[in-house]
Amino acid sequence: MSYAILDEYHKMDKGREEMKTQSLLADGLKEELIRHLVQVEENGDSFIEDFFPSPSPEREEVKVTLKQYIKKIEDLLTTSSLSGAEREFPFVIIGCKVEVKDLVSDETLVFKIISPLGEMPGEHGISPLSPVGKALLLQEKGAQVSVDAPGGTFHYQITSITYSKTP
């Protein structure tokens, strides 16, 4: 299945080049995003079963978010204009560093969105299943989010989103 998806994206690339559509997404990043997308698509159902085995509103919310996540990355792969090793990213995905401004304290915080499966060892970050991770996932620079967390309600504005290639 993963090879079929990779082949499909390569065919789409060739078609866009023939139509002289510009795409400046660095090849290394593009391949990494395709691998990430394939992994999410292949493991999504088992992830939901493992983390949310019983029917619940949260399970349904995660299913919807997973579909939105896949769609946004697919759209990015077909319309991208990113390049470089670390770059501004258009929205928050797993692997992004997100700088936010606390709208109450004016403090700047940086969060690293890590896989909920623990596949980014050594990274001190937050899961997209946590209250902060849920609020930030798929948001764009400038977005204001409210986070209902055990420590209270926090209000942030996203000031920067960067994606660094994983080692």
Which carries the bigger pLDDT value, residue 145 or residue 11?
A: 145
What pLDDT shows up at residue 19? Answer: 37
What pLDDT shows up at residue 20? Answer: 31
Q: Give tens-digit pLDDT for 147-164.
A: 998 889 999 999 999 987
99, pLDDT greater than 60: yes
CB 120 within 8 A of CB 114: yes
**Domain ranges for the chain:** 2-83, 96-164
Token couple for 158: 């996203």
Query: Which CATH code, of 1.10.10.10, 3.10.50.30, 3.40.640.10, 3.30.420.10, is assigned to 96-164?
Result: 3.10.50.30
What pLDDT shows up at residue 165? Answer: 59
What pLDDT shows up at residue 77? Answer: 86
What pLDDT shows up at residue 22? Answer: 34
13, pLDDT greater than 70: no
What count of residues does the chain have? 167
Q: Give tens-digit pLDDT for 53-75.
A: 999 999 999 999 999 999 999 99
CA distances from 98 to 6, 75, 104 (A): 28, 21, 18
What pLDDT shows up at residue 115? Answer: 84
DSSP secondary structure string for all residues of the chain = -HHHHHHHHHHHHHHHHHTT------HHHHHHHHHHHHHHHHHHHHHHHHH--S--HHHHHHHHHHHHHHHHHHHHHHH----SSEEE-SS--TTEEEEEEETTT--EEEEEB--TT--STT---B-TTSHHHHHHTT--TT-EEEEEETTEEEEEEEEEEEEE---
What pLDDT shows up at residue 24? Answer: 44
